[in-house]
Structure formats: C-alpha cells, structure tokens
Amino acid sequence: MEFSVITIEKVESTQNYLIELSRKTELQEGIVINALSQFKGIGQFENKWESEAGKNLTFSLLLQPRFLNPASQFLLTQVLSLAISDYLLTQTDKPVSIKWPNDIYIGKKKICGILVKNQLFGATFENSFCGIGLNVNQEKFPPLPNPTSLFLETEKQFELNEVLKAVLENIGFRYNQLKSEEIEILQQDYMQRLLYKDIFASYIYKGREIEARIFDVNEFGHLLLEERNGNEICCELKEIIFTHNTISK
C-alpha cells in the first residue's frame, strides 16, 4: 500500500483536519496527515490527547476498507494495534501489549493511543480515519494515568520520520493480512498480545469492583471475562475500567 505523508507544523487535531479535508475533496487511501504539534488533540471518550510539540508522533491515516463488512470493523482496530506493537517489539525487550481494545502498553504504562472513526455509506465502508498518538521522545509527562514514551523505555532518542516510516510499513503489512483474509493470524496475534489475558485482575465493571480473567474478544470486539465464580461477562467499551491490579493466585 502507498502512503503519502503530509507533514504540517501545527494543527488543532490531525483527526479533525483529515475529516474536514475528506469533506472538501476526494482523498486517496493512504493519505497521512502528520503534525509536529497538535494543540487540541482528541482522545477516546472525548478526552484530550496531550503531546509535547516536536517530540512525538501525532498523525491520522485514511483507510478505505471497502472490502470489509462493517460488522467486522473491529478487525481494523486489531490491524492498527498489532502494527504499532510489532514496531515497538523491534525496539525493546520489555513486555509490549495491547490493552483492550486498542491502547498500546509497555509494562503497565501507556505508550500509544489509537482513535478510529469509521464512516459508512449504507451497508458499505466508506472511510476509516485512523488517528495515532505514539509517545516517542517525550521525557516528562503531566500526571496523566500511566504514560510512557520510547525514550523513557529505551533511553534512546528516535528520529520521528524514521519511526513514522516503520510504523506505516507495519500498518501496510497488517492491512494486507486483512485484505487477504488472514483473519485467524490477526486474531491469534491480537489475543497473544492482550494485556492481562488469562490472569486474574481487578476491574470496575458497571461501577462494581470485580476480579476476573480475560479469556477472549469476540468478532464484534467485545471483551469476554470470567469472574472467580464462573460468571461470564461480555462487555462493551466504556463499561469497564482497568485498575491494573493483578492477582497472582
């Protein structure tokens, strides 16, 4: 897949910029809006995405997976989180994992956030706006929950353009797996990297603290957990909070 990267000095949010651009002109799949600085970055659940200017990757990529059934759109989330974790695994021996559904962690700290906005046209996929914020060279963070960067994990400085190139190549590779219907590989790799899979940890589920073990993610992207008493939970986004307390027994 061909990527064409447009780097801009400063923008409110690459995500909004790309969405606006797509309203005004016909865009080709693979266009990337990459910002050196974002002053109003958007995170999940209407959170802000804060990123120090010039230190990290903040970009939005346009995919047009018109071959994909919209019911399977979770596969795109898997493609992106696998591609980024593939890259991180080449840079560190520390444990890299995917916190359901699509945060990338090193150890118990978040290094990357992904925001996917899908546009459907009737029953077919039109556009998928894939926003990625990867912390690269930032050394200090505001007291947000658990942030880290490649610099903090490896004590090395990275060339942002090289990181972007490698991440895009990986996205191209994983996206091709999706196109060529290598779904089982994507699902297997995703499950293998899932944070706290098969171990008991505590969560806040619908406001109540539970101890449960993640055992699967279904095709719609719902997280499946089993409580100690065998009760199974199938949960959607926003219904669960990870406390990051794992229980060894």
CA 53 remoteness from chain centre = 21
Residue number of the CB closest to ligand BTN reads 113
78/52 Cα distance (integer angstroms)? 27
Subset of residues 41 to 60 that bind ligand BTN, contact rule: CB under 6 A: 41-44, 47, 49, 58-60
* Sign of the dihedral through C-alpha 227, 231, 232, 237: negative
Tokens of 178: 């999706």
Q: Kindly tell me which of 42 and 178 has the beta carbon lying closer to ligand BTN.
A: 42
Subset of residues 107 to 136 that bind ligand BTN, contact rule: CB under 6 A: 113-115, 131-133
CB 217 within 8 A of CB 190: yes
Tokens of 59: 């970009």
Tokens of 169: 């190549």
CB 30 to ligand BTN: min, Å: 16
Q: Kindly tell me which of 49 and 200 has the beta carbon lying closer to ligand BTN.
A: 49
Subset of residues 199 to 238 that bind ligand BTN, contact rule: CB under 6 A: none
Q: Kindly tell me which of 116 and 210 has the beta carbon lying closer to ligand BTN.
A: 116
204/72 Cα distance (integer angstroms)? 27
Subset of residues 1 to 30 that bind ligand BTN, contact rule: CB under 6 A: 13-15
Question: Can you name the residues that pair with 225 across neighbouring β-strands?
Answer: 214, 233
Size of the site for ligand BTN (CB under 6 A): 20
| Residues binding ligand BTN (CB under 6 A) | 13-15, 38, 41-44, 47, 49, 58-60, 103, 113-115, 131-133
